[in-house]
Amino acid sequence: MEPDPMRRLDARLARAQRDARVPSLAAGVVLDGHLAWAGGAGHVDGRPGGAAPDETTAYRIGSITKTFTAVLVLQERDAGGLDLDDPVGDHLGDLDGHPVGDLRLAELLCHGSGLRAEPAPPWWERAPGRSWDELLPDLLAAGSCPAPRGTFHYSNVGYAVLGRVLATRSGRSWDELLADRLLAPLGMDRTTRMRSDPSARPLAVHPHREVLLEEPDVDTGAMAPAGQSWSTVADLGRWCAFLADPDPDVLAPATLAEMARPRTVALLDPPLAHGLGLQVVHRDGRTMVGHGGSIPGFVATLFVDRDDHAGVVVLGNATHGFDGELATDLVRLARSVVPRTGPTWTAQSDTTPVDELVGDLVGTWYWGPRPLTVRAEAGGRLVVDLGQATRDTVLDHVADERWIGRGGYWDGEPARVVRDDDGRVSHLDLGSFALTRHPYAPAGAVPGGRSGDWGDPDR
């Protein structure tokens, strides 16, 4: 038996560092809300004898920053401060009446606005950052929206606009909002706008020689909401846990699920979908959400399997990337060697009343002849269990006897309780499907009617 099965993850990381010629890599795997493994390979300055990286070493994380900005926007939406269908011009008077001002906030979040990818030269990631007032002429210039609206066109500029909307709404800077609303509540005290040591050096590796070049380390100014942040494996492990199972005091779980639903698709191989600030990928037979990051001197990736509560973070200090299978391999290896007991089951307190409506709805129902189970969870939610690999649908209560589906087949579909003249539940209308207590019962609600009779429904 292998003395320490975790060494398999260390070996995989070391091989990636060597083969991709990345000065240093730091990585971690999160399982069930905890950093189950963390490792490092190489040296943070790229030279023999230098310090080795670990989960406390800070790297620039590039566009993983966009996931922070997106959550801040959704927080503001949930608080009633804006609507995702709002035109940008409703919040930024200097864009009101201009075509860019007509773009919707949701379009910016999912890169479906058609807005240009980068600001005008110089290369913003390698040059001292410009203020909003200096960036504004780029947005007002002809050709600022080169792609058709509704199609995928990645836009760093769009996230600068979102950051400005947040600042205008709150009267505070983007990084102040980030620190107060996300980083402090989640205990991410090593995630900062600028470098904090211990940290890795921003490096480029010559493609044909064993030579290093130090990349510039700049404050990107108004572009910061698109890719400015520094962070560590330990902090981003907490972010993975949040994306898998958000703290409701920070963001409602239903809102995180909304962010993870694809809205636009980049036709790559394999395809890459984008939700509201989250990239959605299908790897190793599983759907994962998160984001990649690339900024001169650094590469990063962070993805989470929300169904399995498993996530991975990889950070490197090189301008080119590491191999694309590394993150998937690390999660797969960790799943195979880390014992997982899952959450502990506990009954609801005797003092917690069971809503009478929920009590009427739990148990076995039939979708035609097919049985399924509806069970109640804490908080009055209902779970529709199809009894197969298909992801369950959670029903969140909306009002009266109306519900909305979250996840699974009925994601986003309405559900309502239908009662007969005596007030008893006749059936559940779930996205137009009639779920009944018996399969095609004579007195049941059977759209289209029945032909024939297979006997007493209670036998």
DSSP type of residue 344: P
Task: Tell the residue number behind the tokens 């909304």, with chain if given.
Answer: 258
Task: Tell the residue number behind the tokens 């890795």, with chain if given.
Answer: 200
Task: Take residue 273 and report the two structure tokens written for it.
Answer: 């979908």
What pLDDT does residue 443 have? Answer: 63
What pLDDT does residue 209 have? Answer: 93
- 177 pLDDT tier (thresholds 50, 70, 90): very high
To the nearest whole percent, how much of the chain has pLDDT over 70?
91
- 352 pLDDT tier (thresholds 50, 70, 90): very low
Task: Tell the residue number behind the tokens 């572009």, with chain if given.
Answer: 223
Residue type, 434: A
Answer for the pair 416, 401: CB distance below 8 angstroms, yes or no: yes
Residues with Cβ within 8 Å of residue 197, at least 6 apart in sequence? 58
Q: What is the tens place of the pLDDT at every residue in 286-318?
A: 899 999 999 999 999 999 999 899 999 999 999
Residue type, 295: I
- 1 pLDDT tier (thresholds 50, 70, 90): very low
CA distance from start to end of the chain: 54
- Pick from 189, 115, 190: which is nearest to 154 by CA? 115
Q: What is the tens place of the pLDDT at every residue in 75-119?
A: 999 999 999 999 999 999 999 889 999 999 999 999 999 999 999
pLDDT, average across residues 346-358:
57
pLDDT, average across residues 176-191:
98
Over 60: is that where the pLDDT of 2 sits? Answer: no
- 196 pLDDT tier (thresholds 50, 70, 90): very high
What pLDDT does residue 458 have? Answer: 53
Dist. CA 109–CA 82, nearest whole Å = 14
Over 70: is that where the pLDDT of 409 sits? Answer: yes
Instruction: Lowest mean pLDDT of 55-59, 65-69, 220-224, 431-435, name the range.
Output: 431-435
pLDDT, average across residues 324-334:
93
Extended strands (E) in 63-126: none
Strand partners, 430: 415, 433
Q: What is the DSSP string of 186-211?
A: HT-TT-BSS--SSB---EEE-SSSS-
Over 90: is that where the pLDDT of 401 sits? Answer: no
What pLDDT does residue 356 have? Answer: 60
- 455 pLDDT tier (thresholds 50, 70, 90): low
- 43 pLDDT tier (thresholds 50, 70, 90): very high
Report which of residues 426 and 74 the model is more confident about.
74
Q: What is the tens place of the pLDDT at every residue in 355-395?
A: 666 777 888 988 888 888 988 876 667 888 877 655 678 88
Long-range contacts of 84-88 (CB under 8 A, 24+ apart): 84/109, 84/276, 88/161, 88/165
pTM of the predicted protein model: 0.85
Compute, in degrees rounded to 10, the torsion defined by CA atoms 134, 139, 144, 149: 150
What pLDDT does residue 410 have? Answer: 83
Q: What is the tens place of the pLDDT at every residue in 124-162?
A: 888 889 999 999 998 888 778 888 898 999 999 999 999
- Whole-number average pLDDT of the chain: 89
What pLDDT does residue 354 have? Answer: 46
Task: Take residue 313 and report the two structure tokens written for it.
Answer: 């973070």
Task: Tell the residue number behind the tokens 């600022």, with chain if given.
Answer: 144
Q: Which domains does the chain possess?
A: 7-337 (3.40.710.10), 356-436 (no CATH)
Report which of residues 193 and 322 the model is more confident about.
193
In 3-state terms, what secondary structure has residue 371? strand
Extended strands (E) in 147-297: 203-205, 212-214, 230-231, 264-266, 272-274, 279-283, 286-295
